[in-house]
C-alpha cells in the first residue's frame, strides 16, 4: 500500500481504536493464507500484519484479529471464507473473502488481486476494485 493509504488508515484507527483488530505476525498471516488455500494479495497481507483486521468505512475487513466493533461471528478471514464456500457461493472457492457487504454478500480478492462481489440479489459477480488498496481507498472515501 502507498504511504498515503497507510497514513489514512493509521489516522482512522488512532481516532477510533474500536475499529482496529490489532497487528499480527507474518507467521499468523501465513497460517491464515495456508488455511484459506489462496495466495493473499501483497497489500492485503500488509493490511493484516499492520492492522490484523478492522472496519474501514461501512465495511469490515476480515482478518486474523477481531476489532471490538466487529461482529463476533464475522471477523475471521478463514472462517468466513470457509462458510461462503460451504454454502456454495461461487466463485468464493477462488477467492479470499475479505469483507461482507451490508446485504450479506461476500467481497473477495482473487489471486490476481482483483476485488469482486458476489451479489445474490442481482444474481451477478462484478468487480468492485482492481486492487485491494483501491477497495480500501473507496471505503476511506465514503
Q: What is the pLDDT of residues 113-129, one digit of tens each?
A: 999 999 998 889 999 99
Q: What does the angle CA 132 – CA 13 – CA 108 come to, to the nearest 5 degrees?
A: 25
pLDDT digits (tens, 9 = 90+) for 28-42: 999 999 999 999 999
Domain count for the chain, please give it: 1
User: What mean pLDDT is predicted for residues 91-117?
Assistant: 96
User: What mean pLDDT is predicted for residues 34-57?
Assistant: 97
Q: Which CATH number goes with the domain that contains 97?
A: 3.40.1580.10
Range of the domain at 7: 3-140
User: What mean pLDDT is predicted for residues 53-82?
Assistant: 97
Q: What percent of the chain lies above the pLDDT cut of 70? A: 100
Amino acid at each position: 500500500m502507498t504511504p498515503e493509504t497507510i497514513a489514512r488508515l493509521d489516522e482512522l484507527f488512532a481516532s477510533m481504536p474500536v475499529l482496529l483488530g490489532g497487528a499480527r505476525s507474518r507467521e499468523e498471516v501465513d497460517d491464515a493464507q495456508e488455511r484459506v488455500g489462496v495466495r493473499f494479495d501483497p497489500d492485503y497481507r500488509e493490511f493484516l500484519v499492520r492492522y490484523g483486521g478492522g472496519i474501514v468505512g461501512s465495511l469490515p475487513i476480515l482478518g486474523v484479529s477481531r476489532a471490538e466493533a466487529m461482529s463476533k461471528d464475522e471477523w475471521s478471514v478463514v472462517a468466513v471464507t470457509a462458510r461462503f464456500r460451504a454454502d456454495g457461493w461461487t466463485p468464493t472457492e477462488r477467492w479470499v473473502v475479505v469483507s461482507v457487504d451490508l446485504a450479506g454478500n461476500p467481497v473477495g480478492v482473487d489471486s490476481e488481486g482483483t476485488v469482486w462481489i458476489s451479489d445474490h440479489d442481482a444474481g451477478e459477480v462484478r468487480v468492485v476494485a482492481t486492487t485491494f488498496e483501491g477497495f480500501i481507498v473507496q471505503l476511506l472515501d465514503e
